[in-house]
Chain A
Amino acid sequence: MQTKISTMMSGVLLVLLSVLSVQAYAIPEIQRWQTDNGARVMYVHVNGLPMMDARVVFDAGSARDGELSGMAALTNGLLAEGAGGQSAQLLAEQFESVGAQLENDSLRDMAIVGVRSLTDRAYLDKALKTLSTVLSQPDFNQKEFERELARMKVAVTARKQSPSSIADEAFYRAVYGDHPYAAPTGGTEASLEKLTLDAIRGFYQKYYVAKNALIVIVGAVDRPQAEAIANQLSAGLAQGEKAAPIPEVAPLAEKKVVRIQYPSKQVHIYMGQPGMKRGDDDYFDLYMANHPFGGSGFASRLVKTIREDRGLAYSVYSYFHPMREAGPFMMGMQTRADQADQAVGLLKAELEKYIKEGPEDDELADSISNVVGSFPLNLDSNGKLMGYLAMMGFYDMPDDYLQTFVDQIGSVTPADARKAMAQRIKADRLVTVIVGDIAGEATEDKKAETPEE
């Protein structure tokens, strides 16, 4: 059996072999340039399918919301609800009559607007013209503003019937405190009440500008076409300015426990703290440290301990979510309410042990071989390439990120992983969020720690 052999091999040899086999694979060639008004462009030519994706990413996520959380999401959501004097219906018909698919989304860091289209000239032209209108001439009418705001309010209400949403919101509040990452991207009841159309317009004018934009193009269009597309999408944008940096995330000064009573059959448990940024010096060490711990699914320690050995949970995991500033390190699981304390104890004990001892040599070798070996899987479609390019461009990753990825992963040693984890994660300063039917159990932390809403 291939693996029996591989586990007998030393980690180094295994890694070397994997690296060799992957480097035979051609990394897509990324071309970069800037439009005249300062939008950055990334482009990869992919032949084969008569389709292309164009995505514009603005540094205009909810980290820019200030006091008005939900503003970034509503601004993004309103773009296609009326633009250039054309109704939402007309805009949607223009995309859909040529089979084009509009995408838009607003995260904590990124605001995304894009389209997937066939490359047949007539179809593509119509899709891009409509996208350009949506990007650069949104009408922000009162009627659409009120309707979409009302829909967001229903979404906020719906979060209250989901214990995982409640837990997620509480976790970010507890980990991020006063930092802009603390608030939910969809806003809160209170913040949505304060949103105005003027604020939305101001947000758009400040952040949906060329110098704050990254345009990514992937698909069966050639370089001159890609240049024309980039120009077309950026031409209507004001030049503007790149958004100012957001504040750094302060480390937690002490542990926090948040318990929220909710009449669900399971308790949802999240534990963690600020983790790392994109481009963090320890990125690869931390990524690989987490992988065998809780990032590798069925092969991970957490799944073995919590699910396989004890049957306590269906889903248990840990991850670093790198963002512009330190995104969270999080461990998560759900279990029957009467097993909550056991589960929290196990998660904490596993983390403490792991910080102290780090990964076993074999564990890390298997993880490296998984991450290196699966690297081509991450680039095997236009959709996935788009995701990678947008991430690399938005977070200013070096041009050779993909070329060096395998070497970077392969060079992490067990000592590196242990050291990085021990320096970054402080088990005595964790945020622990427990949402579920925990009434009657110790609630002394609750009053002090339940986030204000």
Chain B
Amino acid sequence: MRIYLSLLVFIVFVLGAILFVFNDKASPVKEGEVQVFELTNGMKLRVIENHRAPVVVSQVWYNVGASFEHDGITGVSHVLEHMMFKGTPEHPAGEFSEIIAANGGKENAFTSKDYTAYFQRIASDKLELCLSMEADRMRNLILDEDEFLKEIEVVKEERRLRTDDNPNALLYERFSAMAYTNSPYRQPIIGWMEDLESMTIDDLRSWYRHWYAPNNATLVVVGDVDANEVFKLTKEYFSPLPIASLPKLKPRREAQQYGVQRITLQLPAEVPTLIMGYKVPVLKIAEDENEVYALEVLAGLLDGGDSARLTKNLIRGQQLATSAGAGYSLYARHEDLFTFSAIPADGVTVEQLEEAIKQEIKAIKQTLPEQKEMDRVIAQVLAASVYEQDSSFYRAMQIGILETVGLGWQTKDKYIEKGKAVTAEQVQQVAKKYLVDKRLSVAVLDPVPIEEADVQASNAHAGGRHAN
């Protein structure tokens, strides 16, 4: 990443209600650097000036998501994200989107395990419009019951579309629910259907009141703007907003696992699928952060492109897999899973495929990765750090995630340096330590013929299909 703060000298002024941090005039800010501001009500502002095109990305991040939810109200963060478009006294339902659209903008929102974010992409001279409306809905949402009753049906349709009718998504949902014992990562972001059925407008109101406040939010702006101007606008619209007393989250650290955990889903489908996940530390909770970067390099060795080991050995070499991948999210808030997912080649069983993936893990444990492979991963990391600057949206997202989970945007700057410092021995070490059976969970999609499922489904229907 070419976001350096080394040139910046921070001077802090406390002036009336506002705390602001600005850049030393003697060191003109270079385009592309992260500029850091904070309001006295606790709201964070991060700005990157990028004058390539007369446009801006504005993202408001809330430190709340599915992993903040307790049993029975799963999905509430995501439903609230939907309701954020349903009006304030100033802007009735739907008007937010209409105004942004009529001003040539594109907007939406997304909810994850660890955060909820709202964004606009728009001509840079329209930023004020976005900020004024985001400030308005941060504290003034109406949360009308009639709107909720319609919108909850939309969310149920979304769940049917994304999860219930998608065998691989359903497999992943049940895999997560099985792999974690008590971590909130066991809960689906979209929520269990049962919880959506019983959700009330009061659940939404309570969630909104607790979490939507300037002291739980980060505004990230990337584009053709002047950072100090953005700060002025941010103060104007957000500093009058009152802070909330944020609930103190229980730790909910995942309990120890004592052996391999398995689940099989027999679903109407055609193609078997395998997911394997090993519980691993992430940056936020790691005792030794070098382990986290070693796991990141390990993921690159296994699945960093068409020359990486899974494609090389499982798809092309032994031809056991039609597709195979590995994944790891080092910026998660809780202990996470280092996952493998694969679809067997025709005539290959998921058992054979699981064994082959374990052989790949064993190979790493037994033989030090070659320097050539390590170099390739680093070359890809370096190149990606340039390519990702082509997308302002992506850059804003990285800052938003890091700030929201509490790692700080500077973490991204350490990424290359930390990645480069990882040795083959460290990679081997984390594989030996973490990719072991007592940390493993396995989920298998075992397809049952769609026609048979058809009959079953029809019978179930006869038992009583009813309007929700």
Contacts and interface: CB of A to CB of B under 8 A. Distances in A.
A88 interface: yes
B319 interface: yes
Contacts of A51: 383, 386-387, 390
Interface stretch (A56-64, A106-114, A157-165, A221-229): A157-165
A266 B270 contact: no
Contacts of B453: 263
Interface string B310-328: 0110011001001100000
Interface string A89-131: 1001101111111100000000000001110000100000000
A12 interface: no
A6 B129 CA distance: 13
Given A334-B160, A372-B104, A380-B53, A101 B99 contact: no
Interface string A316-347: 00000000000000000011111000000000
A88 B307 CA distance: 8
The B contact surface, by secondary structure, is helix
A297 B106 CA distance: 9
A337 B468 CA distance: 12
Given A3-B103, A298-B85, A313 B154 contact: yes
Interface string B118-133: 0001110110010000
A245 interface: no
Interface in A305-319: 307-315
B271 A118 contact: no
A205 interface: no
Contact of B306 (A21, A88, A155): A88
B458 A437 contact: yes
A145 B240 CA distance: 65
Interface residues of B, number: 83
A383 B382 contact: no
B346 interface: yes
Contacts of B418: none
A179 interface: no
Contacts of A101: 305, 383, 387
B454 A261 contact: yes
Contacts of A88: 306, 316
Given A25-B54, A297-B101, A336-B157, A162 B306 contact: no
Contacts of B105: 370, 373-374
Contacts of A153: 346
B31 to A, nearest CB: 9
20 contacts: A3-B129, A95-B307, A96-B305, A100-B383, A116-B387, A150-B319, A158-B270, A263-B268, A263-B458, A299-B102, A311-B152, A311-B153, A311-B157, A369-B102, A371-B104, A376-B54, A376-B55, A377-B104, A380-B52, A380-B392
Interface of A: 1-3, 6-7, 18, 21-22, 24-25, 48-51, 80, 88-89, 92-93, 95-102, 116-118, 123, 147, 150-151, 153-155, 157-158, 160-163, 261-266, 296-299, 304, 307-315, 334-338, 366, 369-377, 379-383, 437, 439-440
